[in-house]
Amino acid sequence: MLILGLDPGLGTTGWGVIRAEGNRLTHLANGQLKTAASEPLAQRLAHLATMLEAILADHHPTAAAVEEIFLNKNPQSTLKLAQARGVALMLAARSGLIVGEYAARLVKQAIVGTGAAEKVQVHAMIQRLLPGARIAGPDAADALAVAITHAHHLATSSKIPLPVKGGVRGG
């Protein structure tokens, strides 16, 4: 399974693609998509969409995962983040992908073992989990962390048996 992880932002969106085969994870690619603050909002969102479409076309992921929004002190920043996140969710869904969504605390918990981990700790663990990966920056590291969290979630959920009801699984 190829998983695209996204850490959305209007100024910088981190992305990472991993291959998950059981418990084995392999780094395929990562990067940061940037938009110019001097451009109008609509242009920035359109540019972000074009860049994300290129990544989807280049890597053909089979699943996607996006970090959820955290509330900033500045409501305007939260709104811009939400708009960038909306572009990412829409494009992934339009590509036929089912999208996992994960809170930052859950991602940190899955990668580092504590939901209060610092960015540098997440980056260090990504280097350990994906040896040899050249990470494009902190947003790309966060995106890879989201992808790894999704891989772990999918692996765990596939091992959980469905409840038996009336002699039929999941029925």
Which residues are known to be catalytic?
A: 7, 67, 139
Strand-pair category, 2-7 with 24-34: unpaired
Report the chain's C-alpha Rg in angstroms: 17
DSSP string, 143-159: HHHHHHHHHHHHHHHHH
Give the integer Cα–Cα distance in Å for 46 and 8: 14
